[in-house]
C-alpha cells in the first residue's frame, strides 16, 4: 500500500491510496453503489418515508455515552480550529433525534424519515476493516405500538426480495430488551447497570461465554444473576420464555406475539424468528430489537435496529416513542456476491456523434447539442479514427452512432447507424431525435 505517512512523502509525490480504511468509487464501483442506493430509496418510497440528511460532522457531545459501546470508543473525533470538539458521525440516529427536537411541535407526528449517509469510526487496528461505510436508516417517531416495528421489518424484507434474496438465505432474529430487564429485576440488579449489561451481552457471538461471564461479574452483578442472564439468552421460543420468566415477561411477550401476528398479515412470517440472544450493541434501545443474518452464519449482521423510546430525554427533551434500523452497504454486497446476485452494470449512452472531417466539428456540436436537449445522452467524439469509435461504442453500450460526413451534411443530412441491428440510414439533421 506504499507509505501511509504524510500525504506528500517526497517533494511532489502524493500518496495515491485513499486514507487508510476508506474507499474510492471509480465508475464501475459507483454504478453498483448507485444501484444499491436506488433500491434503498425505492423501498423507502414504497413505505411512504421522507428523505432527510444531516452533516457528517457533528458535535462530539452528541455521541458520547458512558455505556462502553464499541461505537463510542471508536469515535473519529478531534478539535476543530475554533477549539470545538467535533466528530465524524459513527451512526445517524442521534442526528435524527437532534432534528426531531429542533423541529419541536411544528412537526406533526408520526414522522417517517429515511436517509442514506456515510458513517465513520476510528480503530487503531484496522486490518481490512473499513473506517467508513454508508448506511440506510429508516426511523419512525411517534408510534408507541409494535405497528412501527412491523412496518420497518416489511421494508427490510421488501429490500431483500427486490435484490433477489430469499428467506432461505436470510432471516431476521427478534427479541425485546424488556426480557433482559425482567431478568435483572428478578435479581434486584440496579437500573443504572442495564445498558452496560446489554452492551456486554451483545458481544456473545464475538467473545467466548467465559469472557462474557467475567465481564458481567466485573460490573458488580451477583453470580446467580449472570447465570440467569446466560440461561435466558439461549431461549429460542416465546413459550419457553413464558415458562422461564412467568408473568414478569408478560409485556415483552405480548409485544413479540403482536409483532409475530402482524408478520403473518404482512406475509413475511417465514423471514422472522424469536431469539433471546439478540440485544444489539447500542445503549439507547429500550424494547423490540432485531437483526438480519445470513442463514449460513458466515457474515456479520446485515442490518439491525430496534425501539428507542427514551433517547430524546438524554438530549434534554421530552421523550417521543421511536424505532428504526441501520442497514450498511458492506455486508449486503458480500452476501449478493456470494449468491451471484450482483448485477453486471455497464455504462449506458444513447448516441455517439462523430464528425468524419475536421471542418465538421461545428455541425457535429450542433447535432450533439440538439440531441441532448431532447433528453438523449450523447458522447461527442473527435480526433479519433473510425475504428476506435466503433470499439468505443461497444465499450459504452451506445445505441446509435451518428456520423457527420461532408457530402451528407451539404445535403443537410447525417448518417445514423443502429448498433444492435447494424442497420444504416440517412436522416435530415433537423429531424434527428
Return d(Cα 399, Cα 414) in angstroms, integer.
16
* Residue 62 CB burial class (10 angstroms; 0-12, 13-18, ≥19): middle
pLDDT at 192 (0 to 100): 87
Q: Are residues 72 and 130 in the same domain?
A: yes
Annotated binding site for L-histidine: 91-93, 121, 135, 139, 280, 284-285
Q: Are residues 403 and 256 in the same domain?
A: no
Look at residues 319, 339, 359 and tell me which one is the last residue of a structural domain.
339
Look at residues 302, 317, 339 and tell me which one is the last residue of a structural domain.
339
Q: Are residues 282 and 395 in the same domain?
A: no
Nearest by Cα to 60 from 47, 41, 74, 40: 74
Q: Is 224 inside a domain boundary?
A: yes
In this structure, what CATH number is given to the domain that contains residue 326?
3.30.930.10
Annotated binding site: 91-93, 121, 135, 139, 280, 284-285
Q: Are residues 282 and 174 in the same domain?
A: yes
Do residues 35 and 345 lie in contact, with contact meaning Cβ atoms separated by under 8 Å?
yes
pLDDT at 66 (0 to 100): 75
pLDDT at 248 (0 to 100): 85
- Per the rule left: phi > 0, alpha: psi between -120 and 50, beta: everything else, 316 is left
Q: Are residues 330 and 360 in the same domain?
A: no
Q: Is 10 inside a domain boundary?
A: no
Do residues 363 and 429 lie in contact, with contact meaning Cβ atoms separated by under 8 Å?
yes
Nearest by Cα to 346 from 310, 398, 305: 398
As a dihedral over the C-alpha atoms of residue 350, residue 356, residue 357, residue 358, rounded to 10 degrees, the angle is 30
Q: Are residues 386 and 321 in the same domain?
A: no
pLDDT at 48 (0 to 100): 98
Return d(Cα 383, Cα 361) in angstroms, integer.
10
Question: Domain of 332?
Answer: 27-339
* Residue 264 CB burial class (10 angstroms; 0-12, 13-18, ≥19): exposed
Q: Are residues 324 and 218 in the same domain?
A: yes
Look at residues 317, 339, 361 and tell me which one is the last residue of a structural domain.
339
* Contacts of 56 by beta carbon, 8 Å cutoff, 6+ apart: 88, 89, 117, 118, 120
Partners of 327 in the β-ladder? 136, 303
Return d(Cα 94, Cα 89) in angstroms, integer.
9
pLDDT at 7 (0 to 100): 54
Return d(Cα 180, Cα 407) in angstroms, integer.
83
Q: Is 11 inside a domain boundary?
A: no
Q: Are residues 331 and 363 in the same domain?
A: no
Q: Is 16 inside a domain boundary?
A: no
Q: Is 20 inside a domain boundary?
A: no
Q: Are residues 304 and 208 in the same domain?
A: yes
pLDDT at 106 (0 to 100): 79
Domains identified in the chain, total number: 2
Q: Is 3 inside a domain boundary?
A: no
Q: Are residues 143 and 214 in the same domain?
A: yes
In this structure, what CATH number is given to the domain that contains residue 353?
3.40.50.800
- Per the rule left: phi > 0, alpha: psi between -120 and 50, beta: everything else, 430 is alpha
Do residues 174 and 152 lie in contact, with contact meaning Cβ atoms separated by under 8 Å?
no
pLDDT at 4 (0 to 100): 55
Length in residues, the chain: 433
Q: Are residues 223 and 371 in the same domain?
A: no
**Radius of gyration over alpha carbons of the chain, in Å?**
28
Phi, psi of 125 (to 5 degrees): -100, 95
pLDDT at 191 (0 to 100): 86
Q: Are residues 381 and 332 in the same domain?
A: no
Return d(Cα 291, Cα 173) in angstroms, integer.
6
Nearest by Cα to 324 from 185, 156, 172: 156
Return d(Cα 238, Cα 254) in angstroms, integer.
10
Intervals of the chain under pLDDT 50:
none
SS3 annotation, the chain = CCCCCCCEEECCEECCCCCCCCCCCCHHHHHHHHHHHHHHHHHHHHCCCEECCCCCEEEHHHCCCCCCCHHHHCCEEEECCCCCEEEECCCCHHHHHHHHHHHHHHCCCCEEEEEEEEEECCCCCCCCCCCEEEEEEEEEECCCCCHHHHHHHHHHHHHHHHHCCCCCCEEEEEEEHHHHHHHHHHCCCCHHHHHHHHHHHCCCCCCCHHHHHHHHHHCCCCHHHHHHHHHHHCCCCHHHHHHHHHHHHHHHHHHHHHHHHHHHHHCCHHHEEECCCCCCCCCCCCCEEEEEEECCCCCCCCEEEEECCCHHHHCCCCCCCEEEEEEECCHHHHHHHHCCCCCCCCCCCCEEEEECCHHHHHHHHHHHHHHHHCCCCEEECCCCCHHHHHHHHHHCCCCEEEEECHHHHHCCEEEEEECCCCCEEEEEHHHCC
Q: Is 277 inside a domain boundary?
A: yes
Q: Is 188 inside a domain boundary?
A: yes
Return d(Cα 254, Cα 261) in angstroms, integer.
11
Amino acid at each position: 500500500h506504499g507509505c501511509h505517512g504524510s500525504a506528500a512523502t517526497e517533494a511532489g509525490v502524493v500518496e495515491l491510496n485513499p486514507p487508510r480504511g476508506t474507499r474510492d468509487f471509480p465508475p464501475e464501483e459507483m454504478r453498483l453503489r448507485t444501484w444499491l442506493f436506488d433500491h434503498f430509496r425505492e423501498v423507502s418510497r414504497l413505505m411512504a418515508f421522507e428523505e432527510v440528511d444531516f452533516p457528517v460532522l457533528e458535535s462530539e457531545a452528541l455521541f458520547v455515552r458512558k455505556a462502553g459501546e464499541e461505537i463510542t470508543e471508536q469515535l473519529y473525533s478531534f478539535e476543530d480550529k475554533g477549539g470545538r470538539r467535533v466528530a465524524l458521525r459513527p451512526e445517524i440516529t442521534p442526528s435524527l433525534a437532534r432534528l426531531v427536537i429542533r423541529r419541536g411541535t411544528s412537526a406533526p407526528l408520526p414522522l417517517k424519515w429515511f436517509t442514506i449517509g456515510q458513517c465513520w469510526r476510528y480503530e487503531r487496528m484496522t486490518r481490512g476493516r473499513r473506517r467508513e461505510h454508508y448506511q440506510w436508516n429508516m426511523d419512525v417517531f411517534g408510534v408507541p405500538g409494535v405497528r412501527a416495528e412491523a412496518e420497518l421489518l416489511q421494508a427490510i424484507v421488501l429490500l431483500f426480495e427486490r435484490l433477489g434474496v430469499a428467506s432461505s438465505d436470510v432471516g431476521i432474529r427478534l427479541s425485546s430488551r424488556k426480557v433482559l430487564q425482567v431478568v435483572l429485576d428478578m435479581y434486584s440488579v440496579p437500573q443504572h447497570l442495564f445498558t452496560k449489561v446489554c452492551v456486554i451481552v451483545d458481544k456473545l457471538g464475538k467473545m467466548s461465554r467465559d469472557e462474557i461471564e467475567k465481564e458481567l461479574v466485573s460490573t458488580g452483578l451477583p453470580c446467580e444473576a449472570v447465570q440467569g442472564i446466560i440461561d435466558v439468552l439461549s431461549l429460542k421460543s416465546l413459550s419457553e420464555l413464558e415458562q422461564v420468566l412467568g408473568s414478569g415477561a408478560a409485556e415483552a411477550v405480548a409485544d413479540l406475539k403482536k409483532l409475530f401476528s402482524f408478520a403473518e398479515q404482512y406475509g413475511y412470517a417465514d423471514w422472522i424468528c424469536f431469539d433471546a440472544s439478540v440485544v444489539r450493541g447500542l445503549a439507547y434501545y429500550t424494547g423490540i430489537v432485531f437483526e438480519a443474518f445470513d442463514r449460513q452464519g458466515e457474515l456479520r449482521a446485515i442490518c439491525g435496529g430496534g425501539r428507542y423510546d427514551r433517547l430524546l430525554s438524554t438530549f434534554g427533551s421530552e421523550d417521543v416513542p421511536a424505532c428504526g434500523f441501520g442497514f450498511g452497504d458492506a455486508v449486503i454486497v458480500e452476501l449478493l456476491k456470494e449468491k451471484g446476485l450482483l448485477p453486471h452494470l455497464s455504462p449506458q449512452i444513447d448516441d455517439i456523434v462523430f464528425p468524419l472531417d475536421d471542418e465538421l466539428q461545428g455541425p457535429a456540436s450542433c447535432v450533439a447539442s440538439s440531441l441532448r436537449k431532447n433528453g438523449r445522452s450523447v458522447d461527442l467524439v473527435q480526433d479519433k479514427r473510425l475504428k476506435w469509435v466503433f470499439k468505443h461504442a461497444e465499450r459504452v453500450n451506445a445505441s446509435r452512432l451518428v456520423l457527420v460526413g461532408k457530402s451528407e451534411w451539404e445535403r443537410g443530412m447525417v448518417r445514423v447507424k443502429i448498433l444492435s441491428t447494424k442497420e444504416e440510414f440517412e436522416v435530415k439533421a433537423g429531424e434527428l431525435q
